[in-house]
Amino acid sequence: MNYTVITGASSGIGYETALAFAARGKNLIIVARRLEKLEELKSAVLNVNPNLNVVIRTSDLSDTKQAYALYNNLKEYQIETWINNAGLGEASLVADQNLDKVETMLRVNIETLTILSTLYARDYADVEGTQLINVSSALGYAIAVGSVAYSASKYYVSAFTEGLAKELELKGAKLKAKVLAPAITETEFVKKSIGAEDFDYKANMPKYHTAKQMAGFMVELHDSNEVVGIVDQNYDFNLRGQIYPIISEF
């Protein structure tokens, strides 16, 4: 029995991605901090397909020890696709940053993503049909003044994942590594980044995608042979090859 792991599954893109994969008959392992939200998602998934197996795991991925524990706890399962969707944001000028918030963001966006990606690549590099999808951002390919630390963290995600994809290709591995790079998406993410729980997307954003639309893009990327799925400045979704230049040392 194969499973798809989705971190950050309690809301937004992760939540809708779980429903999208459930509609395709995929058994799920859903991960987040909020147990009640995961239980709600499990019920929603089983409404889509009552024959699926849905495994809940609570984990605070700002604690790298919990990231290791999560992975080790899942070794009994055969994991077909691992989606690192969990991420945090920070929207402020560098000099005005809340450094506690930034440190937590860097642990989730960079450290934990690197740990989980590395462990999965070690175990599944030679398993046919496996995929690692890391969620970056359009700001992982362009710097946004006022969100420089966040942009930099997503530059890491993009560069790390594209580099891993090339390493796997050069080794002839069966595992595929891919990057999803959303632009502004209607989720809790922006609200938490700017500290505005009542943020109105329709009133403040000329363009954005819904979480359900982004989950659809995730599925498109999964089904493609491309490495990057990115939302451009016109808010069109594009599948394409690697963006960063590659210098091979092999």
pLDDT of 199 reads 65
Among this protein's residues, is 3 annotated catalytic?
Answer: no
Asked if the model's pLDDT at residue 142 lies above 60, the reply is: yes
Q: What is the mean pLDDT of residues 168-178?
A: 97
**One-letter identity of residue 21:** F
- pLDDT, one tens digit per residue, over 23-36 is 999 999 999 999 99
Asked if the model's pLDDT at residue 156 lies above 70, the reply is: yes
Q: What is the mean pLDDT of residues 234-247?
A: 95
Label residue 209 by pLDDT band (50, 70, 90). Answer: confident
Label residue 154 by pLDDT band (50, 70, 90). Answer: very high
As a three-state string, the secondary structure of 109-123 is HHHHHHHHHHHHHHH
Check residue 21 and report its DSSP letter.
H
Q: Is the torsion defined by CA of 138, 10, 94, 150 positive or negative?
A: negative
- Do the Cβ atoms of 22 and 28 come closer than 8 Å? yes
Q: Which domains does the chain have, with CATH numbers?
A: 2-240 (3.40.50.720)
Among this protein's residues, is 150 annotated catalytic?
Answer: yes
pLDDT of 191 reads 55
pLDDT of 185 reads 81
Asked if the model's pLDDT at residue 128 lies above 90, the reply is: yes
- Do the Cβ atoms of 169 and 209 come closer than 8 Å? no
- Report the predicted TM-score, pTM, of the whole model to 2 decimal places: 0.93
Q: Which residue in 15, 150, 156, 208 is the catalytic one?
A: 150
Q: Which residue in 42, 154, 176, 178 is the catalytic one?
A: 154
Label residue 197 by pLDDT band (50, 70, 90). Answer: low
